Amino acid sequence: MNGTRKICVITGANKGIGYEAALTLGLMGWEVVLACRSFARGNQAVMALNSIFRQTDPGGKNQGLAVFMELDLASLASIDNFVVGFKKRYHSCDALICNAGQMGGPYAQTLDGFERQVGVNYLGHVALFARLYPFLKSSPDARVVQVTSRAHERAALAEGEFPRIARQPKDTYNPWKAYAQSKLLQVLFTLKAQEVYGSDALRFYAVHPGVVATDLLLSPLPGLAKTILRPLARVFTAVGLLQTPKQGSDAITHPVLASPPPLGGTYWAEGSPREPNPLARSKTLQDDVWNHTWNLLEASRIQAP
């Protein structure tokens, strides 16, 4: 660890917009921690990034560094293990980009019994934030970015409903409803976390990176459909109907790099602050989800900071 580098943790950074975000920050001299499930793909991404960093700054005066650390957001035990390893290497964290996610697909549960989209996209990232909070507080200017989606704008969520959807059974599961709700939960968390923890030294953002041509976009589709649509995605990107991973990553790194920092507790889409789903502004819903979130996590020994 170079003591002069800023430190950023990026979940799901072995490919797509997470990888591009790591590249952008590393080229600016940051140390980027790629927090990924796959040991092989994570290390492959780290080797590729560090090769680029060495080539672009051969003197090493402002050379970035990529580091792989294993993390499975579908396991609270894995999150604990990640932070144990992080503590051995680092004393602070300047940015946390919550980028990894699940989109659609068949019903599945996390290792802790949560519906997988809510468990990975929302609860896993909240648990990671809670564990990294002391490191974020040790930075003079920390920023937390939740990578959300405009799908949250169409989501519905009633007070008292969150515990049920967090552990909903297969027979009530709707993949796209669950995805949209998980993204609304990320925005609700961002606004409430800014109120509870926000300061001039810690700010929270929720960012829709655009409709980006990544594997996540095709992941809910069966194999043949992926094979057919993958070339079309490249065409749509070329003509501007889809964004490139680099364009998506610029959206999520902007709140991290902007100086002066943008107003915390805000939702961004297409590079500009936007009004979120009106439900995200509901103080009663924020409080309801906030309290139920920590109740669920505290049952697994993840305490609110």
Phi, psi of 26 (to 5 degrees): -60, -40
The closest of 126, 168, 119 to 144, measured between CA atoms, is 126
Instruction: Report how far residue 37's alpha carbon sits from residue 4's, in angstroms, rounded to the nearest whole number.
Output: 28
Instruction: Report how far residue 107's alpha carbon sits from residue 276's, in angstroms, rounded to the nearest whole number.
Output: 27
Q: Please, which residues bridge with residue 111 across strands?
A: none
Establish whether 179 is a catalytic residue.
Answer: yes
**Which residue in the list 179, 197, 205, 267 is annotated as catalytic?**
179
Q: Which two tokens stand for residue 126?
A: 């909240």
Own/partner pairs, 278-287, CB within 8 angstroms, 24+ separation: 279/155, 279/156, 279/157, 279/184, 279/188, 280/152, 280/184, 280/187, 280/188, 280/191, 281/191, 284/159, 285/157, 285/159, 285/188, 286/188, 286/191, 286/192, 286/195, 287/192
Q: Which residues are catalytically annotated?
A: 179
